Structure 1
C-alpha cells in the first residue's frame, strides 16, 4: 500500500460535494418528496448538502418512506456508475502506450463493474427487509468506487483523468456514502427518523444492537466429505493440469444450494488464479498445508502492476471455500506490495489454509469472510483490506524483512482500510496466536528495541480491528498499535482488545487511542452479529 494515502481526508471526500451546484443551495420546493428527503438526510454526515443534492436528483411521491429515498439514491447511483465506466473507458482508449494509466483504467472498469453489481443486489435486498445484506453490499460498492478514484489518483495528469476523479468524488461516492449512512440509521431505528443522525462508531460510544441468540447453534466450516467435481494434478491422470482450467470449468451463476468442488492434489502450482464474479460457490480442496501449494511472484515493482492485481490467487465469486492448501507470493520483501491471496467473496470460508508472503500477504479486500485455523505469515501490513472478516483459532506469524534485518524494523500485523463510518467492516481476531517465525524471534531476542511489531496501524480513516481472547507473544510492543503517519485517523479508528493473554498482552502501556472492549459489547464481534454467519451458512451446514 502506498504510504501517501495517509494524507487523504476521507471524511470530506465521502460526505461533501466538491462542486458548487451541489453545495448548500436551497432545496427544490417543487419536489413533493422534499419532507422525506429532509428527514432521511438527517442520517448523513452533511444534511444540508445531502438535502440540496437529493432534492435535485430524485423525485418522490408525497407519502414516500425513507426506505424509498434510499432506493431512489441507489437507482441514481446505478445510472451514475454507467457514466463513470464510460469515463474510464475513454481514459483507457486515450492512454496508448502509457502502461500505468492503462492499468489504472482497466482496474477502474473492473471494480466499477463490481460496484454496480453490489448496488443492484442492495436494491433487491432492501424491499425484502434484508438490511444487513444491503449494508454489506452497499459498503463494498462504496469501497470499489474509492478504489477506482485511488487508482486514477496515481496516474493523474490529463483532463480525462481529472474529470473522472471529480465525477467519482462529487457524485458517485457522494451518493453511495449518504445511502450507506442512511442504511445504518434505518437498520437501528427504522422509520423513526427522530433518532437518526450522522453515522457513528464505537469511538463515539455507539454499539449496534446484537442478536438475542448469542449461543452456538451453527457451525462455520467447509463441509466434510465433499465429492470432487473435477481434479487437478501436475503428473496427469486428473481432469486438469492447472487450477485455472478447473475454475474455468465451473458453471456460471450456479444455484445457491450447490457447490463446485475442485480437488487440487499435492504439488506446486506456479500460476495466477482468478475466480470471477460469475463463479459462485467454488470450493478448493487441497491435500494439506505445504503439500498443495499455489505460488506466484507478481508485485508492484513490475510495470503496470498494482497491489490489487499482484495476488497469486484472487477470488470475487461469492460463497468461495478453501481448505488444506498453501498460497504464496515469493516476490520477496524488496518487492514491497506482493499479495498472496485477495478475497472479495461474500460469505467465504477459508479453513486450514496457509498464506505466505512479506508485505501485504493477505488482502481481505471486501465483504464478509471467515478464516478458521489458518496460518498467515508476513511482515508489513500483511493482513489488510476493508472486509468484515473473522479470524478464529489462527496462527499469525511475523517474518523478518530480509533486507538488512539486523538494522531493525517496525512491522504491523494488520492495516484495516474502512473509509466510511457506516461501512460494517473490520477485522476480528478470536482465540488466535500472534508470534514470530523462528528467524524473526532470533532477531527480536538479539535486539528487542530494534525489532518492534504491532497489532496494527490505520490504513484508512475509520480503520477497525479487535483482538479477543488471543495469545500475544513478547514480540508485540507494549504500545500495541502504531500510527500510520503522525495523527492520521487516531481520533476516528477503533482498535480494541479483550481478555488477551501472553507477554505482549499487557494493556497498561497501550497507546491512548486504543480501547479495551467492554465485556457487555464483546458479542458485537461474534460470527453471528458481525458477519451474520448463522444466516449464510445454513445451506451447507
Structure 2
C-alpha cells in the first residue's frame, strides 16, 4: 500500500477524532468546563477510545502520555508509538544479524527475512507522522477498511518474523527479538486495531448520520461470463480478450525462443519504470523451473498462460532440506493489484519435504483466476492483505491453505492428497493473531474432495477442515460440497502446548455432501451458523470490497450463490 493511501486513511481517522472530541465537549455538562473540565474531558476521550480494547490498562497507559481533550491526539500517539516500536525491532534485527548472522544458514535466513518483513511494516506505517489533513467526514467509511487492512498486515509481518526462528539453535535470538521489541509491536498494533475498530461504534453511539453502510459491489456476485461483478470493465474486457486471443501482451515468454524471453523472471524484470495501467505478460505452454519474486514496484501486473495443465511454474525448495518456509515459495508476489490467469504454481518436494510453498501472496488486491496451486504441506501461503481466488485448483496435505491474509476462495476445487506415513491432513490454518484483525480464510461454493492419490485411503487417513494456527484463527466454510474424507469432528487444536481453541472462529453455513454433517463437530468450533451470521463473511461485511473495488448497489442476498 502506498504511503499516500495510508496517509489519507490516518488523516481520516484523525478527522473522526476531531468529531468525537467536539461531540465530547459539546455533550459535557456545564460544570465540566470549569478548571477541572480539561481533565474530565480528557478522561472521557481516553475511556471512549479504550472501550474496545481487551487490555484497557495497557490502552490507558499508552494514551496517558497525551494530555488533550481531542481524541485525534490520542490516535496519533498510538500510530506513532507503533511506528517507533517497528523501527526499534528493525534496528534490533539489524544488530542481531551482525552478531549472529554467521552462526548458521538458517539463522541468517531468519534474520534477513525479519528485516525484510519489518521494512514492509515500516512501509505500511510510514504515514504515522502525517499531520491532520482536511477531509470530508463522509469519506471515513470508505477508508476504514484500508486502515484495518494495513494494521493487519503489520501484525502479519511481526508474526512471520517470529515464525522464521523455528529450530532449537535459533530460539534464543527469537526470544530476544520477541521480548525486547516484537511483543511490543504486536501489542501496540493490536491496540491500534482495537481503537480503529471502536471508532465506528463510537460514531454510531453518537447517532451521527454518516451513512455507515455505503453502497458496494458484492464480491461474490458473478456475471454471465463467470467473473465477479465488482471487476472493472477494463479488466473484465481484458480477461475476455485473453480467452478470445485478442490481447497483445507487453512481453511473451516461451521456452522454445519464440517469445521475447525464455524465462518468466526476465519478462517480469522488463517491467518499465513508472509504467501506467496493466503490464501484461503471456507465458506460453511449458514447464518453467524457476523461482520468482514480483517486487512491490511492479504493480498492476497480469501474467497469463495457456492453462494450468500447460503453463506450469515449478520448484522444489523445502524446509526439510534447510530452507525457511517463506523462502520455499516457487512463486512470490508482494506487489499490489497482481493478477494471474491460466497458470499452475507447484512445489514438487512431496510430503517428505515438509513445509514447501508453491505460491506466496503478500500484495494487496491480488486476484487469481483459473489457476492451480499444487503441493503438499503449506501449498498456498496467503501471507497478507486482501486476496481473491476463483475457479482454481488447490491441492495439498497439511495446512495447505495458510497465512494471515483476508482471503476468499470461490468456485474452486480443494483436493486433499495422500500425506506421508503417520501424517494427517488439514485444509486451512489461519494466522489471525489479534481480536480485531480483519483477516481469515473463507471458502465459498468450493468442492473439498480427495485427490486420486488419497481416494482409496480417504476413510483411514484422517482429514480435517482446519486447525487454529494463532489465537484468533478464523476459517469459514459457506455453500461448499464437502466429501466423506472429512472427519466428523471437523477441527483439531493446533497442538498440545498451544491449542489456540479458546478464541478461534470456525463456522459453516449451507454446505452439502457427506462431510458437511456438523452434529459431531469439535466443541470449540461454532458449527452451523445462521444465515445472518454467515452473511458477515460474504462481500462487504467480510472482505469490505468497496474499500478496494468500484462501488455499486447490489442486493445483499446476491452474495449467496445457492441459498
TM-score range, shorter chain: 0.7 to 0.9
Aligned counterpart for 1:112 among listed residues 114, 118, 124? 118
SS in 2 for 1:84: helix
- Could you tell me the TM-score, scaled by structure 2's length? 0.79
Aligned counterpart for 1:423 among listed residues 434, 437, 449? 437
1:190–1:251 Cα change, 3 Å: farther
Q: What pairs up with 1:257-276 in 2 under 5 angstroms?
A: 258-276=277-295
Q: Is the Cα contact below 8 Å between 2:49 and 2:198 reproduced in 1?
A: no
Q: Which residue number corresponds to residue 442 of structure 1?
A: 456
1:264–1:399 Cα change, 3 Å: same
SS in 2 for 1:262: strand
Unaligned stretches of 5+ residues in structure 1: 1-28, 195-208
Q: Is the Cα contact below 8 Å between 2:426 and 2:463 reproduced in 1?
A: yes
Q: Which whole-Å CA distance do the structure 1 matches of 2:381 and 2:360 have between them? A: 5
Aligned counterpart for 2:354 among listed residues 336, 342, 348? 336
Q: Which whole-Å CA distance do the structure 1 matches of 2:131 and 2:197 have between them? A: 14
Aligned counterpart for 2:310 among listed residues 278, 291, 299? 291
1:135 CA drift (Å): 0.4
In the alignment of these two chains, the number of paired residues is 482
Q: Does 1:522 align with 2:543?
A: no
Q: Which whole-Å CA distance do the structure 1 matches of 2:42 and 2:377 have between them? A: 50
1:302 CA drift (Å): 2.7
Q: Which residue number corresponds to residue 72 of structure 1?
A: 77
Q: Does 1:458 align with 2:468?
A: yes
Q: Which whole-Å CA distance do the structure 2 matches of 1:428 and 1:48 have between them? A: 34
Q: What pairs up with 1:25-424 in 2 under 5 angstroms?
A: 36-56=45-65, 59=66, 62-65=68-71, 67-95=72-100, 96-120=102-126, 129=140, 130-152=143-165, 154=167, 162-190=175-203, 192=205, 216=221, 218-220=229-231, 223=236, 224=239, 225=241, 226-252=247-273, 254-255=275-276, 258-303=277-322, 305-401=323-419, 403-404=420-421, 409-424=423-438
For residues 482-533 of structure 1, give each alpha carbon's deviation from its aligned partner in whole angstroms, at most 9, with x where no partner exists: 2222472222111111111111111222222222221112221123332233
Deviates more, 1:484-493 or 1:355-364: 484-493
Q: Which whole-Å CA distance do the structure 2 matches of 1:180 and 1:236 have between them? A: 51
Query: What RMSD over aligned residues (CA atoms) do the two structures have, in Å?
Result: 2.8
Q: Which whole-Å CA distance do the structure 1 matches of 2:111 and 2:324 have between them? A: 12
Q: Is the Cα contact below 8 Å between 2:89 and 2:182 reproduced in 1?
A: no
1:287–1:389 Cα change, 3 Å: same
1:467 CA drift (Å): 0.8
1:461–1:171 Cα change, 3 Å: closer
Q: Which residue number corresponds to residue 503 of structure 1?
A: 514
Q: Is the Cα contact below 8 Å between 1:370 and 1:389 reproduced in 2?
A: yes
Q: Is the Cα contact below 8 Å between 2:377 and 2:399 reproduced in 1?
A: yes
Q: Which whole-Å CA distance do the structure 2 matches of 1:156 and 1:125 have between them? A: 44
1:191–1:123 Cα change, 3 Å: farther
- Could you tell me the TM-score, scaled by structure 1's length? 0.82
Unaligned stretches of 5+ residues in structure 2: 1-37, 222-227, 242-246, 552-563
Q: Which whole-Å CA distance do the structure 2 matches of 1:395 and 1:159 have between them? A: 42
For residues 401-459 of structure 1, give each alpha carbon's deviation from its aligned partner in whole angstroms, at most 9, with x where no partner exists: 2x44xxx6421111111111110011111110000112211122xxx2x2121111111
Q: Which residue number corresponds to residue 504 of structure 2?
A: 493
Q: Is the Cα contact below 8 Å between 1:390 and 1:527 reproduced in 2?
A: no
1:41 CA drift (Å): 2.3
1:355 CA drift (Å): 0.5
1:241–1:321 Cα change, 3 Å: same
Q: Which whole-Å CA distance do the structure 2 matches of 1:107 and 1:125 have between them? A: 32
